[in-house]
Structure 1
């Protein structure tokens, strides 16, 4: 009995030792993720602040204007939520691609070309159809144009193994140039002197929310990114895409049709980018002017990486970037900083993200 009691005591002690250790390991992992997520953001803000000091600008004043305009001002908050709509759709498309191991860097071309086509089509349909049908048709056309523009990189990747980073970037440059040609020549509004498409009347655009200026495009973006998160984490189709992204050879041995899944991934990712272009036109711009290119896609990439391809975390980071983007426009005017300084902050954030990932990999390698 004493032996049994002794063994029981030993097992209890071992359990008491292992349990905290297990919890400690989980907490350490969570702490690592927090550092990996917040570290690049804080680093980017500090380095951007130092750059502002070099330019002779008070960084605290600049960031104060950003928060005041993008978060505390009623008009600024509404503009922030409106800005989120297309960004969330682009983020959803990037999550689909990145989780499947595909680098779709052609989002800007897919976005802009879809925006131009929608901007040209919607004003022509508005006098002929009910508003809701015009909006539905325009959103569908935008998604289809974006998906179609990814077809060539998709086929080259799926059946020839061509690097999609090169092909999607090339298609972006081609798409941006082609969009400008369409605006200046084929889709140009003959009643204006400035090269632009016809303007969709405000009454025919996406409805506003709750008597505010917030476009309902933000709801489309929220639904899309939550749906993508659920599909990628809770469905068999999402599991197949993740398997392809993790190990294509293992996916082939598992009997998955990798070329077909690759093409579908491109179509979904680019279709969401095209839908973002349609939402931007139908909810905000109403037309497209020559040489207009907000370059949203490349800006959203570091946000998706910071979110670890998590849809809900991406919503938070897109919101923070929208605050920075809207508030940065006002802060730039008040402090005399160039308006594109927000892009400088994003570029520094991307560099900090890469440095953080590198240091984390070295730490993991040293711990093995």
Structure 2
């Protein structure tokens, strides 16, 4: 099957199936998709929101690409993201009065990267030392991280000047600079650069090749003399560090604080984008733009035609289902061709 069709067909099938669901609900699918395009891409304000939303999604995608190419399922992204976001939200207002703005932003992003990496060490150690399935341990650490983030906001970082449990707010002037007078912050440029660097790391360096060998066959990697345990821990740390950085970029660029029980749950949402892009760092940029536009435009479209805002999640579920179907059919086609 043509490679481009393998990329685009699941999206097209999901949009068609989503349109049929809207028809069954008595809604106009063409109107829904028009509103998505109008709000998410065609209007300048919507395009700015779409590009801004891309920044954390791209960084999470970069982290997942590192893990998945190494054969490691880091599904603890939501916990890593939230803990890093809370630490950033607590640290930035405390530093800004004593440290220059630029240094404050850099220190907060480094701290968030470190927090994300540290939160992944237990699943990494259990995987490297005892071979325990990282799907289970990373998901458990994600739930713990989400709960711990809420505890930190409610007990330790609660701004006493507010009645709602939230951290102190970083003023707008102290947040990430905007690009050319727009509402798009430079976190998008940081994310784009890091996605490209991750792509080059995984496809053009000896370290990336070692990770892919470990992912393809740990036994063969050991036979080749690779330090599988060290590479496993390094992969987890790099993957979770990038996801933690995503939390910092979102707080420093958009929100300025974290409220209790806030959880955008981006971690699992980005997984199908990474697989649609075949874990290619360059291709994932396009899919992330598509999904960000769908999220921004879908919120407006849902209100206008009267469907739940979670309809976007249904579309993503359909994309994932059709991705699996296309892969299955393509595999059968290849098997018949080989026979």
* TM-score above 0.5, yes or no: yes
The residue aligned with 1:167 is 137
Give, in whole Å, the separation in 1 of the partners of 2:198 and 2:14: 29
1:219 aligns with 2:219: no
Displacement of 1:355 in angstroms is 1.6
Give, in whole Å, the separation in 2 of the partners of 1:221 and 1:236: 23
1:131-167: CA deviations, max 9, x gaps? 0010000000000000000000000001100001111
Displacement of 1:55 in angstroms is 1.6
Displacement of 1:362 in angstroms is 2.2
Give, in whole Å, the separation in 2 of the partners of 1:354 and 1:185: 44
The residue aligned with 2:276 is 306
User: How many residues are aligned here?
Assistant: 338
Give, in whole Å, the separation in 1 of the partners of 2:162 and 2:24: 43
Give, in whole Å, the separation in 1 of the partners of 2:311 and 2:255: 23
Report the 3-state secondary structure (helix = DSSP H, G, I; strand = E; otherwise coil) of the residue aligned with 2:132.
coil
Displacement of 1:360 in angstroms is 1.8
The residue aligned with 1:114 is 84
The residue aligned with 2:116 is 146
Displacement of 1:344 in angstroms is 1.3
Displacement of 1:352 in angstroms is 1.2
Displacement of 1:299 in angstroms is 0.6
The residue aligned with 1:324 is 294
TM-score normalized by the length of structure 2? 0.98
Report the 3-state secondary structure (helix = DSSP H, G, I; strand = E; otherwise coil) of the residue aligned with 1:222.
helix
Give, in whole Å, the separation in 2 of the partners of 1:334 and 1:286: 29
The correspondence of residues 15-30 of structure 1 with structure 2, limited to 5 A, is none
Displacement of 1:182 in angstroms is 1.1
Give, in whole Å, the separation in 2 of the partners of 1:343 and 1:236: 38
The residue aligned with 2:239 is 269
Give, in whole Å, the separation in 2 of the partners of 1:56 and 1:108: 35
The residue aligned with 1:135 is 105
Match of 1:182 among 152, 156, 170: 152
Match of 1:55 among 25, 43, 57: 25
**Which consecutive residues of structure 1, in runs of 5 or more, have no partner in the other structure?**
1-30
The residue aligned with 1:356 is 326
The residue aligned with 1:76 is 46
1:285 aligns with 2:255: yes
Q: Which moved more, 1:184-193 or 1:355-364?
A: 355-364
Displacement of 1:37 in angstroms is 1.0
Give, in whole Å, the separation in 1 of the partners of 2:275 and 2:209: 19
Give, in whole Å, the separation in 1 of the partners of 2:331 and 2:3: 13
Structure number with bigger Rg: 1
The residue aligned with 1:200 is 170
Displacement of 1:364 in angstroms is 2.2
The residue aligned with 2:285 is 315
Give, in whole Å, the separation in 2 of the partners of 1:174 and 1:366: 47
TM-score normalized by the length of structure 1? 0.90
The residue aligned with 2:12 is 42
1:97 aligns with 2:67: yes
1:80-128: CA deviations, max 9, x gaps? 1111111110010011001101011111110011001110111111111
**Which consecutive residues of structure 2, in runs of 5 or more, have no partner in the other structure?**
none
The residue aligned with 2:223 is 253
Give, in whole Å, the separation in 1 of the partners of 2:260 and 2:26: 35
The residue aligned with 1:297 is 267
Give, in whole Å, the separation in 1 of the partners of 2:264 and 2:25: 25
1:163-182: CA deviations, max 9, x gaps? 01111111111111111111
